[in-house]
Structure 1
């Protein structure tokens, strides 16, 4: 029975995260890009001015909402995660340096997709029984489409609830315990026999912290995200830029390998990765997995923003994808490629490849930083996905189930830290991908609404 479940999940997973899904996500992104007349490119300077201008602007949110900047930080909390460190490494190892180029292409289209998701989420949001703003794919399906399509909202929410415990929580806690144990063992603070006890302690601490933040409501989530996300992103960018600067002479060759490898991977990898298709597939897939454009999840956080302008908040979606993929993922790729560490092309790799790029440049002491970075990235993802799960289960039932859900969600951290859940990781990833299907259908059907909102905001003819 277990083997049957595994084989069925593997088949569905390969389909969801394979070529058909990528074609749909890229296709919808291209459609929205064309219909909005390449908004993410022609309005990019305006988007950066609007978004970066809000970073330094002191603003208070009304009850039941976040400031626009807190909303984008909460969305970034879930997207800027371990995928930015481990996912990019895996893409380069299997798809070659050219995978980075295709990651950029997916991000450029993803900017318009995320913009559309956020704009629709704010436009079609509601106030719940507690007075909080609620929105996201389930609400723009419910309020923007006819009743014939409402089953898609239920499907999205159901897949969301099934996803959060694994992808959003347990796997992230597992990353935290691995990072901390690796650092503690490196410096001989604990022995191998003490790892189990250390994992339990870490799980309990994470569970308490998550519960304190999530049960504090939407304002506390926003306040934590607004402080944690800029801090962790700045520190990571600072050290990653240091690797690039210290290896600046390698930069022309690295960019050459990225561009050349995108179309002729064999010439860069020595024939080990010889498939143009594999390079493109890995780059696009990792880019989508990292910035979540097309999955619709980030729009749930943006819908909480205290703003009356859906398009203005949508511009923060452009900023979000740019920060996550164009900036942070690219820096991770440059850390790996500029540092000159050996890459085992053709074999999957994870965070250890990125960590090697840092340690080869700075020395072993940097492993403390990488452990802290991994912990911050993973913890922020837990908080972001906690909000997403709460909104999904609330849509299916009512706001009365939010606090019990958050308590259970917090306790899962202990399970994730201490138990090997094996196949459940892969099942959670499958449900994560399934969330994209109802969202992409809704984006396609509501693309005309996005165009109208853009025209009204910019007063275009």
Structure 2
């Protein structure tokens, strides 16, 4: 078993090595330049589009779920262990400067997420049940004509869903509940399996309805806990930011390691958290009711902003202000966030993190169940997805009662391999992304003109 683990570790290091990380960030930079820094000038409208109740231009358009529900499915899959353990791991392995590189990767990742979503909506299709299907496998096949590469992406996505989107999550929940409340992992596994099965029976609409309620609640719960700490210690925030920025470019000055480690772990953990470039989120984006691909793409782009710039920043600030990262080794990543919260809110902080971890992990299971189902359906046919749902639910129980380090590492590999076909397609189809963006900008110009006329008339 040790030899197998060693081989997996080696492959994992290659898959998530410098080449892949440069490719991910490089694609984001490339799309940012081609789109004219869209993530800066269009973010206010994107946030308004996401959270305001529109006069809904899209409610009668083709699609299964609303803009908001689509975003919540994607956020359900991305909000998770990466926002807590992942951030702590980046700080412990790369120094506090890793947070800056995490932000930078997220900034360019917003353009990547936008590009993924615009292609997902443009090339989406309708299956035999009348449901929308879309994502990298469809824009690779229909946009590039490379069926073999599309199948490869779907295969990696299907396999990754059982690991990073299933067993590792149920195992984390079971371990947390056993450690905190002495609940038997079998009990946790059975309950998780049953709750997931109930939601999956409702299809994408059921997942959309649950996550639209569930995800905002869990995100606000965790954010509120972090903001309370930040506000109560507001005088320490400027110093924390100063240390982060100094460490990003001169880590040795603040007791850190090499700058390369800060860049590597900051980017790697940022990508793990927001999944920009991996090709998972556009599968949910394709199902949204929207009149133009560009409108949904802007909504999808906000997911990276909320995940990394907001949630991960709160985690990072709490850890840095606590100073505990200077006292723990790299193996303390799973517990340091809870310790940091408890440092500021004794007796309460750790419970905030534990409950958030449980909710985040469950939401990840829901989000990835949809991704895996669509990848499975692409390879084996939509009529057979019921078998995937059954197996997916059973694997939740298995993960809850097993040690799954090897499975986690294998899932990391498949997760990383998903990115390669997707990034190739994004670069080669960048002309389509720009064309669709220009079309929507013209639509927006006309909408603004109409709004201006209505204001003058009113």
TM range (shorter): over 0.9
Q: Extract structure 1 runs of 4+ deviating beyond 6 A.
A: 55-64
CA contact (8 A) 2:95 2:251 kept: yes
The Cα of 1:59 is off from its aligned counterpart by 8.7
1:19-418 correspondence to structure 2 within 5 Å:
19-54=18-53, 65-146=64-145, 149-184=146-181, 190=182, 198-268=184-254, 270=255, 273-344=256-327, 347-418=330-401
Paired residues, what number? 444
The Cα of 1:3 is off from its aligned counterpart by 5.0
CA contact (8 A) 1:107 1:325 kept: yes
Residues of 1 paired with 2:186 and 2:55: CA distance?
40
CA contact (8 A) 1:183 1:367 kept: no
The Cα of 1:370 is off from its aligned counterpart by 2.0
CA contact (8 A) 1:96 1:345 kept: no
Distance 1:210-1:404 versus aligned 2 partners, 3 A rule: same
The Cα of 1:47 is off from its aligned counterpart by 1.8
Asked whether 1:443 is paired with 2:426, we answer yes
CA contact (8 A) 2:337 2:353 kept: no
CA contact (8 A) 2:61 2:290 kept: no
The Cα of 1:8 is off from its aligned counterpart by 3.3
**Which structure 1 segments of 5+ residues have no match?**
185-189
Q: Can you list the C-alpha shifts for 1:434-456, whole angstroms capped at 9, x where unaligned?
A: 00010010001100000000111
CA contact (8 A) 2:138 2:150 kept: yes
The Cα of 1:4 is off from its aligned counterpart by 5.0
**Which structure 2 segments of 5+ residues have no match?**
446-458
Q: Can you list the C-alpha shifts for 1:272-311, whole angstroms capped at 9, x where unaligned?
A: x320000111101111110000101001011111112110
Residues of 1 paired with 2:405 and 2:79: CA distance?
24
Q: Give the CA RMSD over aligned residues.
A: 2.0
Residues of 2 paired with 1:120 and 1:62: CA distance?
17
CA contact (8 A) 1:63 1:132 kept: no
CA contact (8 A) 1:133 1:304 kept: yes
The Cα of 1:60 is off from its aligned counterpart by 6.2
Q: TM-score, with normalisation over the residues of structure 1? A: 0.92
Residues of 2 paired with 1:61 and 1:371: CA distance?
41
Residues of 2 paired with 1:342 and 1:39: CA distance?
35
The Cα of 1:62 is off from its aligned counterpart by 7.6
The Cα of 1:173 is off from its aligned counterpart by 0.6
Residues of 2 paired with 1:278 and 1:266: CA distance?
12
Q: Secondary structure at the match of 1:459?
A: helix
Q: Secondary structure at the match of 1:85?
A: helix
Q: Can you list the C-alpha shifts for 1:2-52, whole angstroms capped at 9, x where unaligned?
A: 455434322221111110100100111111111111111122222222223
